[in-house]
Each structure stands twice: as C-alpha cells, then as structure tokens.
Amino acid sequence: MNKDISALVVEDDTNIREIIVGLLEERKINVLSADDPGKACDLIKSHNPALLICDTELGNPSGNKYGVQVAEFYKKHNPQGIIIGMSSEESYKSFWEGKCNAFHKKDYLLRNINLILEQYFKD
C-alpha cells in the first residue's frame, strides 16, 4: 500500500485505536485518529481521508448512534470514501447495513486487516 492513501480511525478505546493505527502505518498508510465524534468530524473536514474505520459503539455502549453519525458525516463529505464499521458485538451489523462498505467484529478486523484492505486498495 502507499502513503497516498489516508485513513481515519475512530475508536474510543485507546489500546484498540493504537493497534489499528500501528497496523495501518505498517502498510504505509497515512493515519489520523480520533477518540470522539467531534474530533472525527473535524478531521474529516480538514483531511478528507479515503478510508474511515469507525467503532459502531463510539462513546455509547448501549447504542451506536454516535458511530453512525460520524459515518453519515463522512459519507456526506466524501461520497467515494470507504467506510468500515467495527464492533465487539455482531448484533450491531444489521443496524450498520447500508451505512458502510463493510462491518467486522473488532477481533476479526485486527486479525485480518491485510485481507480487508486488499479488497479496497491495490498496491
């Protein structure tokens, strides 16, 4: 992958966010990160990343409207962008259908990030 690809990782769990950022940086992807919806939206406006990886439970473990709001804001500002939703619970998948290009449980995403990225970005 090349450095021309930019990604925004939106995850309020510091450990998971840092792991994903590290995995993307290993693949020579320019990575931005945010831990809350406001910062994420500011970064979307100022950097227009090609890829958004967003926690569907962002700041709200009993629901997922904050993650969806970030995804909708991203899509409005970058209609061609790729959105990958992630969650610790498979049950959130149905809520995100139609709002993202892919949805993965966090453990799957972490183990298979190369395969997932290759679906959208070629070397």
Domain range annotation of the chain: 6-118
Check whether domain 6-118 has CATH 3.40.50.2300, yes or no: yes
Average pLDDT over residues 100-112: 90
d(C-alpha 35, C-alpha 38), whole Å:
9
Kindly report the average pLDDT of the chain as a whole number.
87
pLDDT confidence of 79, banded at 50, 70, 90?
very high
pTM of the model: 0.90
Q: pLDDT tens, 10-65?
A: 999 999 999 999 999 999 999 999 999 999 999 999 999 999 999 988 766 555 57
Instruction: Please list, in sequence order, all residues whose beta carbon lies within 8 angstroms of the beta carbon of residue 31, skipping any fewer than 6 positions away.
Output: 6, 7, 8, 9, 21, 24, 25
